Amino acid sequence: MCGPVNHDAMDNPKVRVIEGDAREILMGGRERYDLVFSEPSNPYRAGVASLFTREFYDAVASRLEPDGLFLQWVQAYDVDEWTVSTIVATLGTVFPDVEIWQSHQTDLLLVASRRPRRLDATSLRARIREEPFATALRGAWRAVELEDVLARFVAGGALARSVRERGQALNTDDRNRVEFAFARTLSRSELFDVARLRQTAAALGAGRPVVEGGIDWDRVVRQRAAIYVVAATAPPPESGAPETERVRARAYAQYLSGELAAAVKTFESQPAAPEGATETTLFAEGLADSGDGRAASYIRALQEIQPTEAEAAAARLALRLGQLELARNALVSAFVHYRSDPWPSQVAMSHALALAEELTRAHPEAVPLVFDALGEPFAVAAIEEPRRLVRLSVGSHSGTFYRCTEAVEPFEPHVPWHADVLQYRARCYELTHDARAARARADLEEYRRNDAGPKQ
């Protein structure tokens, strides 16, 4: 399942996998490394917190080369501020410099080293245009420029030192506070908020990485919103944000909810032109939804960033322009490519599924091709249930129960408890004389009884 994502790294002869306890391997081995990456589960899960202790970090440091880096991934959702501060302070007792990056809307990446790092803009710009970095950054972070990468930077070493110096508790093997902190603080501590952490870092003068060379810092700030949009979440409002940012945030929210044309209209009510992959996608889909010829240039730009998404946007534009065959073929091609391409935005994929509903409802003759195109799971099982539901719905648009058993079968025996699905299933099995017809009728009748509720 992960082959399309990591290019079958596990089958690469350069990769050597050692299975075992991370602490035991680090403490018992002799090899030294340039990079150690720790990606455990949530720190409050039993046993996992031992990978967030000072002793574990000491073990890591003992195996790193002098200029080596240690990367600590932290799942920061449903975690309180105290826990994150404890992890940062503990890591800071072993590594003098700790940077904080935002890898996902709710995840952090702590980059620890023995000395502060200085980044060179020129060399980094060249590096992110090389493979495999170019493809990986476009796919995972929608980053096409260095500024899009730097948007993920949250705080420099001064923040970690400040947390440590104020006396934050440490996590150790004999006092593993992190493991039990979640249960202890669930009802009385504030959940971690990366926006607050950014504000604290800015007040300490640690809100930007140290970079030699020219950087468009306005773009860096602006591209922070993409972190949330990529994760299908509206960017949270930041206190003191200028009106232009608030307008763009409203446009992103409309785009995420499927109001594509409205999103472009809202975006254009502020003066800045679209920039970056996320805004390019918003304009490609939004202008296409309006049948606006300007969409073509954005679709071409999107082709360079995410070809499969560009196909779906082209299908939308063609449908709005009355080019049915082109629309159908482009949409079918996008669905086929979704099976092997793990990097299209799931937001854009959801929009494409909605387009399939619209196209086949208005043009039932397109049902067979679209139905077949939706017949296999998308890569890494992305939006699997919506895909199956839309396939079932598309089949119903033919005016007959087109291959209905094939559409219903993947849901058995745990069929979605929705009236339209249950009705379709019962009628399908009745018409096809399926042995499950009685069970389907009973489920539908039970749903109707429960839906009616108690008599007043």
Q: Tens of pLDDT along 201-226? A: 999 999 999 999 999 999 999 999 99
pLDDT tens digits, one per residue of 31-75 = 899 999 999 988 777 788 899 999 999 999 999 999 999 999 998
Question: Which structural domain range is residue 115 located in?
Answer: 1-120+152-214
Segment 267-293 mean pLDDT: 97
144-148 long-range contacts (CB < 8 A, ≥24 apart) are 144/276, 144/277, 144/305, 145/219, 145/276, 146/121, 146/215, 147/215, 147/216, 147/217, 147/219, 147/220, 147/223, 148/219, 148/223, 148/226, 148/276, 148/277
Segment 335-346 mean pLDDT: 95
Integer Cα distance of 110 and 101 in angstroms: 6
Within a domain: 188: yes
- 78-92, 236-250, 295-309 — which is least confidently predicted? 236-250
Within a domain: 100: yes
Whether 5 shows a pLDDT value over 80: the answer reads no
What single letter denotes the amino acid at residue 32? R
- 97-111, 187-201, 427-441 — which is least confidently predicted? 187-201
Within a domain: 330: no
Q: What is the pLDDT of residue 1?
A: 43
Query: Whole-structure pTM over 0.85, yes or no?
Result: yes
Sign of the Cα pseudo-torsion (168, 169, 173, 177, in order): negative
Number of H helices and number of E strands within the chain?
24, 7
Neighbours of 104 (CB within 10 A): 19
Does 64 or 21 have the greater pLDDT score? 64
User: Do residues 192 and 81 touch, judged by C-beta distance below 8 A?
Assistant: yes
pLDDT tens digits, one per residue of 123-144 = 999 999 999 899 999 999 999 9
Within a domain: 78: yes
Token pair listed for 175: 């006092």
* Residue 399 pLDDT class (50, 70, 90 cuts): confident
Segment 195-201 mean pLDDT: 93
Within a domain: 281: no
Segment 418-424 mean pLDDT: 95
Does 7 or 48 have the greater pLDDT score? 48
User: Do residues 372 and 346 touch, judged by C-beta distance below 8 A?
Assistant: no
Segment 159-184 mean pLDDT: 87
Give 107's contacts (C-beta < 8 A, 6+ positions apart): 73, 74, 75, 76, 77
Within a domain: 450: no
How many domains in the chain?
1
Q: What is the pLDDT of residue 48?
A: 87
Q: What is the pLDDT of residue 185?
A: 59
Average pLDDT, the chain: 92
CATH number at residue 195: 3.40.50
What single letter denotes the amino acid at residue 435? A
In the chain, what percentage of residues exceed pLDDT 70? 96
In the chain, what percentage of residues exceed pLDDT 90? 79
Q: Length of the chain in residues, anyone?
A: 456
* Residue 187 pLDDT class (50, 70, 90 cuts): low
Neighbours of 437 (CB within 10 A): 17
Does 183 or 6 have the greater pLDDT score? 6
Backbone angles phi, psi at 128, to 5 degrees: -75, -5
pLDDT tens digits, one per residue of 234-249 = 998 777 789 999 999 9
Name the residue with tokens 């995840």.
107
- Half-sphere exposure in the Cβ direction for 200 (13 Å, CA): 18
Within a domain: 202: yes
What single letter denotes the amino acid at residue 161? R
Integer Cα distance of 265 and 245 in angstroms: 15
Give 456's contacts (C-beta < 8 A, 6+ positions apart): none
Cα 293 versus chain centre, distance: 30
Q: What is the pLDDT of residue 29?
A: 81
3-state secondary structure 305-323: HCHHHHHHHHHHHHHHCCC
User: Do residues 258 and 351 touch, judged by C-beta distance below 8 A?
Assistant: yes
Q: How far is CA 313 from CA 190, 195, 373, in A?
A: 41, 33, 17
Q: Would you give the end-to-end CA distance of the chain in angstroms? A: 52
Within a domain: 421: no
